[in-house]
Amino acid sequence: MASETEETALLEDVLQNEGGGLYTGDGSVDSKGNPALKNNTGQWKACSFILGTFFCERLAFYGISTNLVNYFTDKLHEETVVASTSITNWKGTCYITPLIGAILADTYWGRYWTIAGFTIVYLIGMCTLTLSASVPALKPAECVGSVCPTATTAQYAVLIAGLYLIALGTGGIKPCIWPFGADQFDDTDPKERVKKGSYFNWFYFSQNIGAIIASSLLVWIQENVGWGIGFGIPTALMGVCIASLLIGTPLYRFQQPGGSPLTRIFQVLVAAFRKKNVKVLEDSVLYETHDKCSAIEGSRKLEHSNELRCLDKAALITDTEIAYGNFSNPWRLCTVTQVEELKILVRMFPIWATGIVFSAVFAQMSTLFVVQGKLMDRTVGSVTIPAASLSFFDFVSVIIWVPIYDSIITPIAKRYIHKERGFSQLQRMGIGLFVSILCMAAAALLEIKRLQLARELGLVHQKVAVPLSILWQIPQYFLLGAAEVFTFIGQHEFFYEQAPDAMRSLCSALSLLTNSLGNYLSSLILTIVTAITTEGGKAGWIPDNLNEGHLDYFYWLLAGLSFLNLVVYMVFSRKYIEKKAFAAA
């Protein structure tokens, strides 16, 4: 194994040659800890195993989550609002646990070992969930007439334990696996850097192939063969997921963990606070190491920016430091790179926050879109379509739009915008936010038509489907899929590219956190709307019998919030467009 001095010399030599040479220029190492050889590691040959791992994990996850609302209502006999709230809370947790995985990856384990460890937890959760749906003693009895026994405390506890173990397991995979795939492409090599942009598109493509299989085949198995088998198949796939990850190990490029990002953030805040009475002048001297590499393991140096000058106090060299020659206490003096890490996070915050409302819209696909579809005509020919299977068209939309974006839109945008990847990540996300407004408008218009038919046919007080084909839901699912391709993929790429080297897992987790908060926001809005609209004994907007409600009002509310969100996004994205995250190599 090469010494640290030899590895640093190799890294600097590669950087000076702008990505040329035998070794990668981004500091990555191979599975043995040696500098990674370009021809033997990384790129698509390594990504194929990572994509295979992610495909199996997503197929397992969607195999559980896509139809979960029906499991709660049909098998656990819960009310619609209670079931929807339980599921959005669980999904919200699935997107908040990545903070745990990200901190462990960036601080101690690295992305590969974090993924490997948490897949085991994930598998245990899947096994627990499968048992809860298979063993008669662990699930409620079937309905007898109109009497539907609810789950006992013990039965519900087993189910929830399985679901939240899955939530913990996915928390170690989500924030690490797509940055781990992006790590296989060298930032300092122009050819590999372009391939990385394409990687994000195909990464999301593989996710939605898994989701298509889950929303069609697995949903059908769950409703027509049995929930035990329907959950058992995804459990087996998690075993395949683990195998795929391990087989590709010799080909991977690994980024070294850089220490606790949270500690570095607090060090900047404490150091700046201690010098709160000191002014930063134009000619003030800010501290940075003399080495070409950053003092932070696995990170390049960052350029000093003139924004947020109050934080520069953390790197300000005062007479005290000069007198004692003490530059080694980061709680008193931080490097410029460390200060810039925090500045980048602050600059990204408004962009990050606008993703929450989009995620609240996306949460409707597996909850209220499904409930809406259950009260429509689900018969196509001789086949009865499960309402949850309509999410199939969201996934189809994604796999249609990804190659269109990668092969058609990007080359056209390059020609006219003259940027390396066509639309910038910020432009791409903005387009997706606009499309999400159209999605909610389409859902609202369809619900208006459905309620009109219910009134005309005297079905308002009957919880029965109206004679309106469920296929009319396709436009809202298709629009949501298009919005995903622009917003979610753009968001993944944005948070990876703009993140400091040693904070990429953390920034990936922050990106995913918008999904969590979006689910919680959906639950909060749903709870508030239900409380307000049911006052005085009214049915409310979203009763158990949607024929008596006004789900369309709820959809219009989300469309309005999405419009306001887009306006806020445009204001902050315009300020961010010209910012540069990294210093030149």
8 A C-beta contact, residue 10 and residue 17: no
361's CB contacts (< 8 A; 6+ apart) are 436, 439, 440, 480, 483, 518, 558, 562
Angle at 285 between CA 280 and CA 286, to 5 degrees: 85
Least confident of 5-19, 97-111, 230-244, 382-396: 5-19
Average pLDDT, the chain: 84
DSSP 231-244: HHHHHHHHHHHHHH
Secondary structure of 411-433 in the HEC alphabet? HHHHHHHCCCCCCCHHHHHHHHH
140: its two tokens: 């409620």
For 31-68, the pLDDT digits (tens) are: 888 888 888 888 888 888 998 898 899 889 988 888 88
Secondary structure of 475-520 in the HEC alphabet? HHHHHHHHHHHHHHHHHHHHHHHHCCHHHHHHHHHHHHHHHHHHHH
For 155-181, the pLDDT digits (tens) are: 888 989 999 999 999 989 988 888 898
pLDDT band of 116, cuts 50, 70, 90: very high
Strand, helix or coil for residue 286: strand
Strand, helix or coil for residue 406: helix
502 alpha carbon, distance to own chain's centre: 19
User: What are the two backbone dihedrals, phi and then psi, of residue 23, each rounded to the nearest 5 degrees?
Assistant: -110, 155
479's CB contacts (< 8 A; 6+ apart) are 397, 435, 436, 438, 439, 442
| Domain residue limits, the chain | 21-259, 261-341, 342-579
Least confident of 343-347, 435-439, 562-566: 343-347
**How far is the CA of 345 from the CAs of 17, 42, 255, 508, in angstroms?**
30, 28, 20, 12
8 A C-beta contact, residue 426 and residue 577: yes
Fold agreement (21-259, 342-579): yes
Mean pLDDT value across residues 213-231: 86
Q: Among residues 73, 372, 325, 47, which one has the least CA distance to residue 198?
A: 47
Give the architecture-level CATH label for domain 21-259: Up-down Bundle (1.20)
Decide which of 3.30.310.10, 1.20.1250.20, 3.30.70.1230, 3.30.2270.10 is the CATH code for 342-579. Answer: 1.20.1250.20
Whole-angstrom distance, CA of residue 324 vs CA of residue 388: 68
Whole-angstrom distance, CA of residue 421 vs CA of residue 418: 9
